[in-house]
């Protein structure tokens, strides 16, 4: 009684046909709490993939369960004395107000970004959210907390969420389908994704195109890898991070490592550093982008059971970073 669980935990990745690259990206995201942007036409499975994220995340630790329960209690989502046992999965609609997303209103209650604390915040049709709402996400993504000020109330709430954003490639959704695309191709795609500002796009560690499901895959039975197998790898990678950051209570996962700490834990081997330097120069990676590649590479190495960050780990991390970027 009084427990709240995540419905997404009952949905299994084995139901998803094809989309192996997207599944891999979400595994990396879950392992290191890296933010993800998926771009693909309607029906490609973006929402289906996102809804299965809770099933591969590790259980809440006692501290996380307490944090999550406190936020949900303030919002009236828990009965008195209730406890949250599963990671939240929040899915606000793109018409939601600023107060609903960030927090506010009477009593300065937590918004969706805080209700997703320690869980997943899924924002479908990401470019359709008001620009002001999207830009407000930038600071909470960096700091893991948000200050809500309304009239006589001034509250600080935690919001360490894993952002999974999904978008069509253009307004009509069929940019890559010559038979169905509108007359404004390719400008419509650039304009549509251009609603996501550069600084906000910079905060997505993993960016990937989700293609239409091949007809050959549709004819196959849904016998993909089950969520339990993916979750086991994620749990092992998380355990490595827990041990790594045992003496650093403010850092729990690789995505939170910064500065000297990041350089220490994610220093690539010589081949990997050479590769990363070449990519940074060719694609004009920002300093933030460079460091985010290192964090993702560290997580990939953890999934690989490797103490060292090697060139293949850098290469895979880079492949998710340079999507939607043009070489300079």
Predicted confidence (pLDDT) per residue in 229-284, tens digit: 999 999 999 999 999 999 999 999 999 999 999 999 999 999 999 999 999 999 88
Q: 273 and 310, same structural domain?
A: yes
| Cα gap 7→322, rounded to integer Å | 33
In the predicted structure, residue 304 carries a pLDDT above the cut 60: yes
* Residue 214 and residue 244 in one domain: no
Q: What is the torsion angle, in degrees rounded to the nearest 10, for the CA atoms of residue 83, residue 142, residue 293 and residue 89?
A: 30
Asked if the structure places residue 326 within a domain, the reply is: no
Q: Nearest to residue 21, comparing CAs of 259, 273, 292, 211?
A: 211
| Residue 18, pLDDT score | 87
- In whole angstroms, give the CA distance from residue 229 to residue 23: 12
- Centre a 10 Å sphere on the Cβ of residue 223 and count the other Cβ atoms it contains: 9
- Rounded Cα distance between 268 and 280, Å, is 14
Final residue in a domain of this structure, among 193, 218, 243: 218
The CATH code of the domain that includes 119 is 3.40.50.300
Give domain status of residue 328, yes or no: no
The answer to whether position 153 is within a domain reads yes
Cα distances from 94 to residues 41, 115, 134, 172, in angstroms, run: 17, 16, 10, 16
At residue 106 the predicted structure's pLDDT band, cuts being 50, 70 and 90, is confident
Residues 95 and 195 in one domain: yes
Residue that wins the pLDDT comparison between 314 and 170: 314
Whether 147 and 38 share a structural domain? yes
188 neighbors 170 (Cβ within 8 angstroms):
yes
The bridge status of strand 120-123 relative to strand 83-84 is unpaired
Q: Could you tell me the residue range of the domain that residue 238 belongs to? A: 227-321
Q: What is the pLDDT of residue 225?
A: 92
Say yes or no to pLDDT of 76 above 90: no
Residues 262 and 141 both lie in one domain = no
Q: Residue 173's pLDDT is what? A: 61
Asked if residue 96 belongs to a domain, the reply is: yes
Query: Which has the higher per-residue pLDDT, 290 or 82?
Result: 290
Beta strands in the chain (DSSP E): 3-4, 36-39, 83-84, 89-90, 103-104, 109-110, 120-123, 145-150, 153-158, 162-167, 206-209
Domain total for the chain?
Answer: 2
Task: Tell me, yes or no, whether 255 lies in a domain.
Answer: yes
Which one of 167, 199, 218 terminates a domain?
A: 218
Q: Same domain, yes or no, for 192 and 235?
A: no
Phi, psi of 302 (to 5 degrees): -65, -40
User: Quick one: 302 and 154 in the same domain?
Assistant: no
Tell me: do 158 and 94 sit in the same domain: yes
Residue after which a domain boundary falls, among 218, 249, 279:
218
Does residue 205 share a domain with residue 66? Answer: yes
Tell me the mean pLDDT in the region 283-296: 92
Q: Is residue 327 part of a domain?
A: no
Same domain, 49 and 197: yes
pLDDT of residue 155: 87
pLDDT tens-digit series, residues 114-150: 999 999 999 999 999 999 999 999 999 999 999 998 6
Q: Is the dihedral of CA 278, 325, 38, 142 positive or negative?
A: positive
CB-CB contact of 293 with 276 (8 Å):
yes
Lowest mean pLDDT segment, chosen from 99-113, 176-190, 239-253? 176-190
Q: State the Cα–Cα distance between residues 124 and 89, nearest whole angstrom.
A: 13
Confidence bin at 75 (pLDDT 50/70/90)? confident
Residues in Cβ contact with 153 at an 8 Å cutoff, skipping those fewer than 6 apart = 107, 108
Beginning with the edge strand found earlier in the chain, give each strand of the sheet holding 120-123 in spatial order.
89-90, 120-123, 162-167, 36-39, 206-209
Compute the distance between CA of residue 198 and CA of residue 207 in angstroms, rounded to an integer.
Answer: 13
């Amino acid at each position: 009684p009084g427990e709240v669980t995540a419905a997404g935990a009952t949905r299994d990745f084995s139901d998803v046909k094809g989309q192996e690259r997207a599944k891999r990206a979400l595994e990396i995201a879950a392992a290191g709490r890296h933010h993800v942007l998926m771009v693909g036409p309607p029906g490609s499975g973006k929402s289906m993939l996102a809804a299965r994220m809770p099933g591969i995340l590790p259980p809440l630790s006692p501290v996380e369960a307490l944090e999550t329960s406190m936020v949900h209690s303030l919002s009236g989502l828990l009965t008195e004395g209730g406890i949250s046992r599963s990671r939240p999965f929040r899915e606000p609609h793109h018409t939601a107000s600023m107060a609903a997303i960030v927090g506010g209103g009477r009593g300065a209650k937590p918004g969706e970004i805080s209700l997703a604390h320690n869980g997943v915040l899924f924002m479908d049709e990401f470019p359709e959210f008001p620009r002001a709402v999207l830009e407000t996400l930038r600071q909470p993504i960096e700091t893991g907390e948000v200050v809500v000020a309304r009239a006589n109330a001034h509250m600080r709430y935690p919001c360490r969420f894993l952002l999974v954003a999904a978008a069509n490639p253009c307004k009509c959704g069929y940019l890559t389908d010559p038979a169905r695309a509108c007359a404004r191709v390719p400008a419509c795609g650039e304009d549509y994704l251009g609603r996501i500002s550069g600084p906000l796009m910079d905060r997505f560690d993993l960016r990937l195109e989700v293609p239409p499901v091949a007809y050959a895959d549709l004819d196959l039975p849904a016998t993909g890898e089950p969520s339990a197998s993916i979750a086991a790898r994620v749990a092992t990678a998380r355990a490595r991070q827990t041990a790594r950051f045992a003496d650093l209570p403010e850092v729990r996962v690789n995505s939170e490592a910064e500065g000297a700490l990041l350089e220490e834990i994610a220093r690539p081997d010589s081949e990997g550093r050479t590769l990363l330097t070449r990519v940074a120069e060719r694609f004009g990676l920002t300093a933030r982008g460079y460091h985010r590649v290192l964090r993702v590479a560290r997580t990939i190495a953890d999934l690989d059971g490797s103490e060292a960050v090697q060139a293949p780990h850098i290469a895979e991390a880079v492949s998710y970073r340079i999507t939607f970027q043009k070489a300079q």
